[in-house]
């Protein structure tokens, strides 16, 4: 049985990755902060798909707890075949309305943990000559939207580089760039969730991402509307795009 490790696995995109990967027959290592929710998800997946599910309680803001996940990824005796770096962190307010601690915490989750977990996973994968990483980024990476966009732009750049660097060694790396998606993410930020054509269904999002990963793509941008948005960002000046940075914050 192959194993996938998914961070932020108890809700939203991470939970859907866990469900679809279990349906494919992957064993799972689920990572999140809430032990009760982790155990409930694990029980559901074992019952529904008959796969082995391990839970790992960790808050990736905490370096010591992040290190426990790194150690699991680096364990050659229990190899991880796919890492899904999905743990999310969002701040509703603009930069100066947040504390520097809040901003640093977001970078710890969105950038530092992605770097550290990818580093831990890539070594064993490259040695075995197989494996993969899906880094959940955002369409915001292509837009000037403060530190969240800057963090996701790093994820895109890192993932694209790693895709080309480790492909010859049998390791696939892909950045998944969702647009607005119907999950708990916006509710946790106390931001109103929409329901128009710009809001993606999470099942469609993950199904598309896994199909793109299977094809060996460096990027997955689910939804024709968001492919169009990304194409426009290459033609529209940054100063114009910045006028729309408040979208999704209300």
| Residue among 89, 148, 154, 213 flagged as catalytic | 148
User: What is the rounded distance in angstroms from the CA atom of residue 216 to the CA atom of residue 132?
Assistant: 10
Asked if 166 is an active-site residue, the reply is no
Nearest residue to 101 (alpha-carbon basis) of 144, 61, 141 = 61
**Exposed (0-12), middle (13-18) or buried (19+): which is 230, by Cβ within 10 Å?**
middle
Neighbours of 139 (CB within 10 A): 22
Cβ partners under 8 Å of residue 116, min gap 6: 66, 67, 70
Q: How far apart are CA 81 and CA 12, in angstroms?
A: 22
Largest CA distance in the chain: 52
**Location of structure tokens 């939207």:** 145
Which DSSP letter does residue 34 get?
Answer: -
Render 123-179 in DSSP notation, one character per residue: HHHHHHT-EEEEEE--GGGGS--HHHHHHHHHHHHHHHHHHHHHGGGTEEEEEE---
How do beta strands 131-136 and 82-85 pair?
parallel
- Per DSSP, the three-state class of 224 is helix
Active-site positions read: 148
């Amino acid at each position: 049985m192959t194993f996938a490790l998914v961070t932020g696995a108890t809700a939203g995109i991470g939970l859907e990755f866990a469900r679809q990967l279990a349906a494919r027959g992957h064993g799972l290592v689920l990572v999140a902060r809430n032990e009760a929710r982790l155990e409930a998800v694990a029980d559901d997946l074992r019952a529904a798909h008959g796969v082995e599910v391990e839970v790992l309680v960790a808050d990736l803001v905490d370096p010591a707890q992040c290190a426990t996940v790194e150690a699991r990824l680096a364990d050659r005796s229990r190899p991880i075949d796919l890492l899904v770096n999905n743990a999310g962190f969002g701040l509703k307010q603009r930069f100066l309305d947040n504390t520097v601690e809040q901003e640093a915490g977001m970078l710890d989750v969105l950038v530092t943990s992605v770097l550290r977990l990818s580093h831990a996973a890539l070594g064993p994968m490259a040695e075995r000559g197989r494996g993969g990483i899906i880094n959940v980024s955002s369409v915001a990476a292509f837009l000037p939207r403060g530190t969240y966009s800057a963090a996701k732009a790093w994820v895109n750049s890192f993932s694209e580089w790693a895709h080309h660097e480790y492909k010859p060694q049998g390791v696939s790396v892909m950045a998944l760039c969702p647009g607005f998606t119907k999950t708990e993410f916006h509710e946790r930020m106390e931001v109103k969730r929409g329901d128009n054509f710009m809001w993606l269904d999470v099942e469609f999002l993950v199904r598309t991402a896994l199909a793109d990963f299977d094809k060996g793509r460096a990027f997955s941008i689910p939804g024709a509307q968001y492919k169009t948005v990304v194409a426009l960002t290459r033609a529209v000046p940054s100063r114009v795009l910045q006028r729309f940075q408040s979208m999704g914050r209300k």
